[in-house]
Structure formats: structure tokens, C-alpha cells
Amino acid sequence: MARTHKPHPAPSQSEPAHAPAPPPREPAWTVPSPLPAPLTPPDSFLAQAKELGLEFDDGDLARLGLYLALLLDANNAFNLTAIRDPAEAWTRHILDSLTLIPILAELPENSRVIDVGSGGGLPGIPLAITMPSLRFTLLEATGKKAAFLSDLRAPLALANVEVLNQRAETAAHMHKADGHREKYRAAVARAVGPLAVIAELTAGFVEVGGIVALIKGEKAEQELEEGAKACEMLGVSHVATIPTPTGRIVVLDKVKPISRMYPRPDGEPKRVPLGVKRS
């Protein structure tokens, strides 16, 4: 059916004839072609890895170096890391992530591990490269970061990685057969928030008998004290705090099913940390 078009009203004298231009968008990132050369690990990284008892299979260091090269390349398009020095990135990103290996090495083959708040892929991608017998889900709420993680799977040959673009508060309530609630043997997280917050965001993913392994800093003991009530409410129990060359790892056991009310709705765990008294 033909339609008539009404003329647009003339702009008033008090209003501009044209809307102001929108602010420039951050440039999109695509995997460069050809791929950048993998970054070479410094001797200090290799020495610290040896002290931790880490052994690398053929090709692991090259894939880790390519991951860092792609991470720093994408960092020019949108903010993924404040660390831009390659040598520092090997220690503060790769080594820090790999300190979880001795804990995850105890898991049965094909165990599912979820990296909650993966960001630029830490600690999930270094772990997936070096632990191919485990299956990793990288959970990231920000769309462009999740797209970056997805784009890395082909050049890094990450057949054991899936990317989930969801908030933890939502994904942890997905109950279907292919869902995520209490379906993982382990959850890991790094630099996501205080222990009371991240415990609420991770506990819902882990099956009873599984573990939550959190990379923390110097305030780990203080956070444990503040988060003790939250852990009790979430059905997890603190079993170890392990010092590492880059920080501390807090290990929680999942000792009972989590209440259906947790995690609370989007943003609530961060706004009002569970069990923490307000000052």
C-alpha cells in the first residue's frame, strides 16, 4: 500500500537544525593478520616458574607469548590491562595465573572450570593453554571483552574453552541440563572484588565437593575475616591460604548446596556485600 510522507517540521529557532554528533566510539579490534610474533618470556619468569615446579609442554610458551602479544595489541583498541611492559606482563599476568596449577592439577580429567569475571582472559586463558585436560568457561559480562576472548580461541587453538557473555548473578541461576548452576568442579577468579563479594559470585557455579580458588593480594587474611559470615551463608568453607610469588591463593571447599536466593540480583553482591557489617 502506498503511503504518504508527512513533511518534517521545521526546527525551532531555539533548537539546532542538526543533532550534535555522537561521541567517537572506541575502535573495534580484530585479530591481526598476520599474527604478531609471540613475546619471549624473560629469564626471571622462567626461574620463578621453575621454583614453582611448573613444567611446560612443547609449544606452551609460544602460545602464552602469542596470547600476551594479542592482549597488548587489543589493549590499543580498548582497555584490558594497565600493564603494558611485556616483561612485567609475563610475571603479573601469566605467572600469577599459573600459580593456580598446583591446585587445579588435583581435578579429574575433563573437569569443568569457570573463570568468573575473566576480563582479558586471566587467569582462564593461561590455564587453558597449560592444562588441556580441563574444560574452561570464561565468564565475562562486558560484550567487547567477551568478543575478544572468543576471537582468541582460533589463533591460540583453544579447543577446551567456551566463552559466556553473562553476568555471574544471572548465569549462576541457569538450571537446565546445559546450564551452569552447581555444574563446575572448580571456579577461579582474579582481581574481581573483596572475598565476600566474589564468594557469592562463584559459589553458585560449583558442585558440592568442588572448590573455589581465588587469587588475592596482601589483604587476603583481612578479607577472610570480613567474609567469614558470607562463606557460612554460601555453603563454602575456607581450607587454605597459599602464598605465591605474586600474591596469595584463597581456597574454599563447597560443602553444601547453595540457597536458591544466592547470588542476589545484578549488582547487589557488590553494593551490599553479604554478611559484612556496614561502617
Question: Does residue 202 sit within a domain?
Answer: yes
* 230 DSSP 8-state letter: H
List the beta bridge partners of residue 253: 211, 237
Mean pLDDT of 177-190: 93
Mean pLDDT of 14-34: 66
Question: Does residue 67 sit within a domain?
Answer: no
Question: Does residue 165 sit within a domain?
Answer: yes
Question: Does residue 43 sit within a domain?
Answer: no
- SS3 at position 33: coil
Question: Does residue 60 sit within a domain?
Answer: no
Quick one: how far is CA 93 from the chain centroid?
Answer: 12
- SS3 at position 118: coil
Confidence of residue 177 (pLDDT cuts 50, 70, 90): confident
Q: How many domains does the chain have?
A: 1
Question: Does residue 256 sit within a domain?
Answer: yes
Would you call the peptide bond into 194 cis, given omega within 30 degrees of 0 as the criterion? no
Residues 6+ apart with CB under 8 A from 197: 269, 270, 273, 274
Question: Does residue 196 sit within a domain?
Answer: yes
CB count within 10 Å of CB 100 equals 27
Sign of the Cα torsion 261, 263, 268, 274 reads positive
* 194 DSSP 8-state letter: -
Mean pLDDT of 186-209: 96
Helix, strand, coil proportions of the chain in percent (round to 5)?
A: 30, 20, 50
pLDDT at 225 over 80: yes
Show the domain range for 111.
99-271
Q: Are 223 and 216 in contact (CB under 8 A)?
A: yes
Which has the closest alpha carbon to 87: 40, 36, 156, 37? 40
pLDDT digits (tens, 9 = 90+) for 30-78: 999 999 999 999 999 999 999 999 999 999 999 999 999 999 999 998 8
Quick one: how far is CA 59 from the chain centroid?
Answer: 24
pLDDT digits (tens, 9 = 90+) for 108-142: 999 999 999 999 999 999 999 999 999 999 999 99
| CATH code of the domain containing 105 | 3.40.50.150
Question: What gap in Å lies between CA 47 and CA 132, rounded to an integer?
Answer: 23
The pLDDT of residue 22: 56
Q: Are 215 and 123 in contact (CB under 8 A)?
A: yes
Question: Does residue 221 sit within a domain?
Answer: yes
